[in-house]
A = this chain, B = another copy of it.
Amino acid sequence: MRSAVVLLSGGLDSATCLAWTRREGFEAHALTLDYGQRHRVEIERAAFVAKSLGAVSHRTIALDLSFLSGSALTDVAIDVPKGRAAQEGRSGVPVTYVPARNTILLALALGLAESIGSRDLVIGANAIDYSGYPDCRPEFLDAFRSLARLGTKAGAEGAEWRVHAPLLALSKADIVRKAVAWGVPYAATVSCYDPEPDGRPCRRCEACEIRARGFAEAGIRDDSAEIA
């Protein structure tokens, strides 16, 4: 059975990616980074989601990313902005961009994948709602695949790496529909950038706004605010 490494944050998108991976017939190995995020409840939710969706393994790797300054998600000195208008920095890159985040995540996934014999990486990158993030673009994902081929023993031996971003071109409403259709325990997922300690969303940050719009458009009730 083919296996894949799925980056799992505890949010709706990566949970939906895990469901996709299982439906595609992969044995799924989930990988969560405990990077000192503000929203630590994500880590617990990731474990729940991994189990619910039948991942064969789930690893949580501790890597304190507080040395990455300049992002509202890792730097406690920067407030998480509320509302879309407040989001964008120069050149349209949001202040919630974490320097080299997806490069670091994919590098770790690559190392794990090579260690266990997987050749498939799955990441919840989305180029629609997160169009401002450079590391959510198809060109970036292609570049990572080239890098994987050149920088690994498996690649040197002729293996083909694949970087799947099954949500890349989906709207949030489409992701919500897929999540529901594929049995994702979406109410347990945390999308909020700045949740309450019990996981309840703030309902005001960009991620909450995008999520709320997605559920509204899909005509589905989001119970996540009721779960704690």
Mark A residues whose CB is within 8 Å of B.
59, 61-65, 67-70, 89-91, 93, 97-104, 106-108, 110-112, 114-116, 134-135, 137, 139-140, 143-144, 146-148, 150-153, 155-157
Contact A100 B107 (CB under 8 A): yes
Contact A59 B67 (CB under 8 A): yes
Shortest Cβ gap from A163 to chain B (Å): 12
Contacts of A104 in B (CB 8 A): 104, 107-108, 110-111
Contact B115 A69 (CB under 8 A): yes
Contacts of A61 in B (CB 8 A): 63-64, 67
Shortest Cβ gap from A33 to chain B (Å): 10
Nearest CB in chain B to that of A153: its residue: B93
Shortest Cβ gap from A155 to chain B (Å): 6
Q: List the 3 closest A-B pairs by CB distance, nearest first.
A: A100-B111, A99-B114, A107-B107
Bound CA–CA A150/B147 (angstroms)? 12
Contacts of A153 in B (CB 8 A): 89, 91, 93, 97, 99, 134
Nearest CB in chain B to that of A57: its residue: B67
Bound CA–CA A146/B143 (angstroms)? 7
Contacts of A99 in B (CB 8 A): 110-112, 114-115, 152-153
Bound CA–CA A106/B151 (angstroms)? 11
Nearest CB in chain B to that of A137: its residue: B150
Contacts of A101 in B (CB 8 A): 111
Contact A112 B68 (CB under 8 A): yes
Nearest CB in chain B to that of A158: its residue: B91
Bound CA–CA A61/B67 (angstroms)? 9
Give the contacting residue for A62; candidates B64, B68, B146; CB below 8 A.
Answer: B64
Bound CA–CA A64/B97 (angstroms)? 25
Contacts of A97 in B (CB 8 A): 153
Nearest CB in chain B to that of A139: its residue: B150
Contacts of A90 in B (CB 8 A): 157
